[in-house]
Amino acid sequence: MVIGAILPPVLTIPIILPLVGGSWRVNFLVWAVPAIVIPAVFLLLSPKETRASGTASTAIGSLWWPDWKNPLIWLLGFTFGCNNSPFFAANAFLGDYLISRAQAEWLGPALASLNGAQLVALMLLFVVAGRLQRRAWPFLLFGPLMFFGFLGLILLQSPFSIVVCTALIGISMVMTMTPILALPPLLAAPADVARTAAGMLTISYTCAIIIPTLCGALWDASGRPWIVFVPLCLCAVALTVLGAIVSRRRPAAQAAHS
CATH number for 142: 1.20.1250.20
pLDDT at 254 over 70: no
Reported as a single tens digit per residue, the pLDDT across 113-146 is 888 888 888 788 777 777 777 789 999 999 999 9
The verdict on 168 and 232 lying in the same domain is: yes
The verdict on 125 and 162 lying in the same domain is: yes
Establish if 63 belongs to a structural domain: no
Write 218-225 long-range contacts (CB < 8 A, 24+). Answer: 219/93, 225/96, 225/97, 225/100, 225/101
How sure is the predictor about 253, in pLDDT bands with cuts at 50, 70 and 90? low
The verdict on 87 and 163 lying in the same domain is: yes
Chain centre distance of CA 172? 10
The verdict on 10 and 78 lying in the same domain is: no
Q: Which domain holds residue 8?
A: 1-45
The verdict on 40 and 157 lying in the same domain is: no
Rounded CA-CA distance 204/201 in Å is: 5
The verdict on 16 and 143 lying in the same domain is: no
The verdict on 33 and 104 lying in the same domain is: no
Establish if 228 belongs to a structural domain: yes
Establish if 2 belongs to a structural domain: yes
Reported as a single tens digit per residue, the pLDDT across 44-102 is 988 876 655 555 555 555 678 899 999 999 999 999 999 999 999 998 999 999 999 99
List the one residue out of 237, 244, 239, 240 whose CA is nearest residue 136. 244
The verdict on 8 and 106 lying in the same domain is: no
Sign of CA dihedral 195, 201, 207, 210: negative
The verdict on 11 and 127 lying in the same domain is: no
List the one residue out of 145, 147, 148, 149 whose CA is nearest residue 162. 149
Rounded CA-CA distance 195/211 in Å is: 24
Give the pLDDT confidence score for residue 255 in this predicted structure.
Answer: 57
Reported as a single tens digit per residue, the pLDDT across 145-196 is 999 999 999 999 899 999 999 999 999 998 999 889 989 999 998 889 999 9
Question: Which of 17-21, 107-111, 232-236 shows the lowest mean pLDDT across its residues?
Answer: 107-111
Three-state DSSP state, 256: helix
The verdict on 168 and 247 lying in the same domain is: yes
Give the pLDDT confidence score for residue 147 in this predicted structure.
Answer: 98
The verdict on 127 and 245 lying in the same domain is: yes
Rounded CA-CA distance 99/243 in Å is: 34
How sure is the predictor about 27, in pLDDT bands with cuts at 50, 70 and 90? very high
Give the pLDDT confidence score for residue 61 in this predicted structure.
Answer: 52
Establish if 174 belongs to a structural domain: yes
Establish if 197 belongs to a structural domain: yes
Q: Up-side HSE of residue 224: CA atoms within 13 Å toward CB?
A: 8
Establish if 7 belongs to a structural domain: yes
Number of domains in the chain: 2
For residue 221, CA distances in Å to 29, 77, 104, 224 come to 32, 28, 23, 8
The verdict on 158 and 240 lying in the same domain is: yes
Establish if 61 belongs to a structural domain: no
Listed in sequence order, the residues at least 6 apart from 187 whose beta carbon sits closer than 8 Å to its beta carbon are 72, 76, 134, 196, 246, 249, 250, 251, 252
Rounded CA-CA distance 45/208 in Å is: 31
Its pTM stands at 0.83
Contact 180, 80 (CB under 8 A): yes
- Arithmetic mean of pLDDT over the chain: 88
Q: Up-side HSE of residue 210: CA atoms within 13 Å toward CB?
A: 10
